[in-house]
Amino acid sequence: MTGQRAGENPLLPAAVTVVVPTLMERENVAPLVEGLERALAGWSWEVVFVDDDSADGTADAVRSLARRDPRVRVLQRIGSRGLAGAVIDGALSSASPVVAVMDADLQHDESALPRMLRRLEEEGLDLVVASRYAEGGSTAGWDGRRRVLSRLAIALARSVLRVPLEDPLSGFFVIRREALDRVVRRLSREGFKVLLDIVASSPGPLAVAEVPCRFGVRERGTSKLDSLVAWQLGVLVLDKLVGRWLPVRFVLFCLVGSAGVLVHLAALGLFHRARLPFRTAQEGAVLVAMTSNFVLNNLLTYRDRRRSGLAFVRGLLSFCLLCSVGAVANVGVACLLYDARSTWWAAGVAGAAVGAVWNYVATSLFTWREARR
C-alpha cells in the first residue's frame, strides 16, 4: 500500500477500492457513500457497488451518485447471483493496491476503515479483519438465536478448515492486492463467506490481524439472511474439502439423489398400502421422487440459479424429462455389463454412476443453465 492521499494525482488508481455487493439496497447507497466520505477523508479511495440486477433500482441509484462523484462506480451483473462472485468481480475490476470489502446494509461501521488501513500499512500485513469477537467487538444488535448460530458456524469453520481467526465469517475486511492475486483463482464463487474462503484457500499463511468492530442493526432495506445460511457455510466447507477432486455441485446433486431413493421407497410403501397395482405405485413413486429431487436441488444445489413461478414449472418438466433419459442410460449400461458377465453389484454401480453423471450434466446445461434472464 502506498498510503496515497486524496489529491496527489487524480490520474493514478485510488489507494483503496471499497467493494460493496448489493441486492435490493437502493435506500442504503447514499448513506453508505456519505459515511465513506467522512471515514476516508484524506485518503484516495473509490467505491464499487456490485449489484446483482436488483429490481428496486439499486444500480440506477449508484449511477445517479456516480454522475456527481467519480469515486463511485457500479458493476451491474445480469444473470449472475451470489455474494462471493460479486466480491471477486468487484475486486478484479479495480487497480488499487488495497481492496476493502463491506456490506451495504449499514451494519458495518465504516469509521473502522482508517484504523484497519493503517495497521495493514504500518505492520506490513496481508489482511486486516473487522472482528465482532475480538476484545471490544460487539453483536449487541443480534438476538440470542443469531448469536448462537454464529458461534456454532465459527466453531465449525475453525475446526474443519483450521482458520486462525476469531471471526472468520466477518464480511468486513481489507486485503492487500498481491495477497488477493495469490488466492483469487482458488476461490469458490458459491456461498457468501469470502473471508473464510480467502484464508482457507491461501497457498501459504497470510499475515493477518483483527480489530474490534461493533456490528450494527439494519435500519433500511431487507435482510438477506435466512434459514439456509448454515447450509451455505457447509457448502463452502465441503468445497474446500473435496473441490479439488469433484465439483461441489455434483456432490450435492448426488446427496440429493440419495435422499430421493428414500423418498421413492417411502412413497412406494404408501401407495402399496393403498392397494394400488405395483406398476402404478412404482410410477407414482418415481414421479414423487423426481419432484422431490427437483425441489431440493432448486433450493440447495442450485440456490444461486433458483427457478420460481412459471420458470419453476418449466424447470420441473425439463428435470423429469432429462432424468428419464438418465434412467434409461442407467438401466442400459447396467444390463450391458451384467450380460458381459460382470457381477450384479458392479453392473448396478456402473449404471447408477452413468445415470448420475448424465443427470447432473444435462440438468446443469438445460434445467439450471446460468443465463436465466
Amino acid letter, residue 64: S
pLDDT score recorded for residue 102 = 95
Give the sign of the dihedral formed by CA 245, CA 250, CA 256, CA 259.
negative
Whether residue 99 contacts residue 19, with contact meaning beta carbons closer than 8 Å, is answered with yes
Q: Domain check: are 31 and 119 in the same one?
A: yes
Q: Enter the C-alpha cell of residue 363.
A: 440438468
Tell how far CA 174 is from the center of its chain: 19
Residue 295 and residue 187 share a domain: no
State the CATH number of the domain containing residue 42: 3.90.550.10
193 with 84, same domain: the answer is yes
My answer on whether 313 and 185 are in the same domain is no
Is 36 within 8 Å of 73 (Cβ atoms)? no
| Number of compact structural domains in the chain | 2
Q: What was the pLDDT predicted at 372?
A: 42
> What are the pLDDT digits (tens) for 291-325?
999 999 998 888 778 898 999 999 999 999 999 99
Residue 71 forms part of a structural domain: yes
Q: Which of 166, 199, 228 lies at the terminal end of a domain, its last residue?
A: 228
Q: Are 253 and 360 in contact (CB under 8 A)?
A: yes
Task: Please report the pLDDT score of residue 350 as a whole number.
Answer: 82
* 236 located within any domain: no
Same domain membership, residue 155 and residue 260: no
Q: Is residue 283 part of a domain?
A: yes
Same-domain status, 171 and 47: yes
23 and 154, same structural domain?
yes
206 and 276 part of one domain? no
Q: Is residue 5 part of a domain?
A: no
Domain boundary among 194, 228, 262: 228
Give the chain's residues under pLDDT 50: 1-2, 4, 6-7, 221-227, 371-373
Pair 199, 254 in one domain: no
Residue 6 lies in a domain: no
For the stretch 247-258, what's the b/e string if a residue is b when 16 or more beta carbons lie within 10 angstroms of its beta carbon? ebbbbbbbebbe
* Same domain for 110 and 214: yes
- pLDDT in the model for residue 30: 96
Cα–Cα distance measured from residue 264 to residue 373, given in angstroms and rounded to the nearest whole number: 33
233 is a domain residue: no
| CA 262 – CA 324 distance, rounded (Å) | 18
Is 219 found in the same domain as 165? yes
DSSP 139: -
In this structure, the answer to whether residues 125 and 216 fall within a common structural domain is yes
Q: Is residue 8 part of a domain?
A: no
Q: What is the pLDDT of residue 130?
A: 93
297 lies in a domain?
Answer: yes
Non-local (6+) Cβ contacts of 116 within 8 A are 100, 128, 130, 173, 174, 211
What is the domain range of residue 315? 248-365
Question: What does the pLDDT look like over 187-229, one tens digit per residue?
Answer: 887 666 788 889 888 888 899 999 988 776 555 544 444 445 5
